[in-house]
Amino acid sequence: MTAPAADGPGPRSVGVSQRNIGESLSFDLSRPGRVGCILPDLDVPEAELPVDQLRRDLTLPEMSQVDVVRYFTALSTLNYSIDSGFYPLGSCTMKYNPKINDDVAALPGFARVHPLQDESTTQGALELLYELQGCLAELTGMDAVCLAPAAGAHGELAGILTVKAYLRDRGEDRHRILVPDSAHGTNPATAAMCGFSVGSIRTGADGNLDLNDLASQLDDDVAALMITMPNTLGLFEPGIARIAEMVHASGAVMYGDGANMNAIVGRARFGDLGFDVVHMNLHKTMSTPHGGGGPGAGPIAVKEPLEPFLPTPVAARNPHGVFRLMAPEHSIGKVGLFHGNFGVLVRAYAYIRALGLEGLREVSETAVLNANYIKERLREAYRLPYDRPCLHEVVFSGSNQRAHGVRTLDIAKRLIDYGFHPPTVYFPLIVDEALMIEPTESESLENLDAFCDAMLEIAREAKESPEVVKNAPHNSPVRRLDEATAARRPVLRWRPAMADPPEAETSGGRGHPTSRPG
């Protein structure tokens, strides 16, 4: 593979107009008096419209139609998405999803149904919810499902509140939740939001939970262990049955973070592994494209004793075959509007039914195969902190490259020059200079090889010409963003005659490593 030039025109500089777009606002292209369309002469009495007032108060860019079209077309090409390239963002499962599932969700009978319609007119939609609950119960090995939560973190919140209500009903007042030190940040955040104190359990040198540390912290004040399966190192926890035994013996609940279900779908079930509650991220595993902050779904599945405490509503079928939305007997109540993000649920149902169990098994098999392929191709160049077969993702450390003054953030930025979305970096927190790569099942061998070639080339550059990597990206419309300032002090308002570019866009800043798994 030839390395993109360190400076000068890169693949993004397709045309002058596009190259400038990254640095321009539409206001910069404005020319007084220029218009996008020509209106006929007025043939009625002139009247003052609110819009005239608005026009006086607002400064709007004055542009021709073709400039507007080119401006927005060029902007649209700056957006990296799964439809434009490989997106190996670990823990996020940025896989390609069949477009037909979007088509199904857009069918008027689904897209135009209103949640306040009489149930007699929405039987088909309710049946879909009921059937999807059944599919997810079967795939997780659980007894009951609530589809209402709108994201993974939201599912965690609903799940832990359900656990709290269940324990209280048993007359128990427990105050602590245990979370492994490798966990996604949402786990301890959820526990804290639900009023629990958080205890951290160590991960051993082998990548498994340290059972001695767990044993020493488990007591009758612990409400639950929240554990990700497979864990955030992409590893299966071989001690999971023993862990469940220990947790249950202390009277606590096993909470499963099932956001990484792409690794095990159709092959291992949370219920069989000893979990009592699990949330899933349908927007990761089950065919909703995500990444732009769009809608998601984080259903929770529980074992029977927790069913009465689930959020409302849950879809049910009465003995006459009529579908209804019901409130579980001791429900914790509503966690959002209506029944969650219906369009996401339709996509998940279409996806599950189209693939069937065999197809879903192929998903997890290929996802795991692809991650292990990348692990083997890159192992000579990048340090593998946990050298054992991985599941759907592989975690490397950039510590070899650090010896040459190149940091993981630099490697991630250099990948942009090669046309790839960077992997997740600096997560999990327990891995020094972490690079977390999740290829997913939807990439061909050629795509995986192209990515690995780029990673190997960057490792060579780190040794031979570290400055090229340290100053990357060279070919993108913007260079190094100061991500910390951009998040803390965003400049969202255009000011006329702005002397300097907005601070958040200053290039060259050494941003904090804030790339987080989503």
Ligand X SMILES: *Cc1c(COP(=O)(O)O)cnc(C)c1O
Using CA atoms, how far residue 501 sits from 55, 140, 473, 492, 507, in Å, is: 25, 51, 19, 12, 10
* 254 in Cβ contact with 114 (< 8 Å): no
CB of 290 to ligand X, least distance (A): 8
Binding to ligand X, residues 212-241 (CB under 6 A): 228, 232
Give the nearer residue to ligand X in terms of CB position, either 259 or 459: 259
Examine residue 390 and tell whether it contacts ligand X (CB under 6 A): no
Examine residue 364 and tell whether it contacts ligand X (CB under 6 A): no
Task: Look at the alpha carbons of 110, 113, 116, 117 in this order and tell me if their dihedral is positive or negative.
Answer: negative
Binding to ligand X, residues 416-475 (CB under 6 A): none
CB of 301 to ligand X, least distance (A): 15
User: Total residues at the site for ligand X (CB under 6 A)?
Assistant: 16
Residue 296: which of 257, 248, 347, 333 has the closest Cα? 347
Mask for 162-191, x = binds ligand X (CB under 6 A): ----------------------x-x-----
Q: Binding ligand X by CB under 6 A: which of 259, 346, 412, 435?
A: 259
* 3 in Cβ contact with 457 (< 8 Å): yes
Residue 364: which of 288, 221, 265 has the closest Cα? 265
What residues contact 120, with CB distance under 8 A and at least 6 apart?
none
Examine residue 257 and tell whether it contacts ligand X (CB under 6 A): yes
CB of 416 to ligand X, least distance (A): 22
With CB under 6 A as the contact rule, which of the stretches 137-145, 197-205, 257-265, 409-417 interacts with ligand X?
A: 257-265
Examine residue 277 and tell whether it contacts ligand X (CB under 6 A): no
Give the nearer residue to ligand X in terms of CB position, either 18 or 424: 424
Examine residue 153 and tell whether it contacts ligand X (CB under 6 A): yes
Region for residue 405 given its phi and psi (left: phi exceeds 0; alpha: psi -120 to 50; beta: otherwise)? left
Please measure the distance between the N-terminal and C-terminal CA atoms of the chain and give it in whole angstroms.
Answer: 31
The reply to whether omega before 517 is within 30° of 0 (cis) is: no
Q: Binding ligand X by CB under 6 A: which of 296, 311, 343, 419?
A: 296
Q: Binding ligand X by CB under 6 A: which of 89, 104, 151, 247?
A: 151
With CB under 6 A as the contact rule, which of the stretches 150-158, 219-227, 330-338, 360-368 interacts with ligand X?
A: 150-158
What residues contact 390, with CB distance under 8 A and at least 6 apart?
233, 234, 235, 368, 371, 372, 375
d(CA 115, CA 338): 7
What residues contact 79, with CB distance under 8 A and at least 6 apart?
none
Q: Binding ligand X by CB under 6 A: which of 18, 91, 285, 397?
A: 91
> Which residues form the interface with ligand X (CB under 6 A)?
91, 151-153, 184, 186, 228, 232, 257, 259-260, 281, 296, 298, 517-518
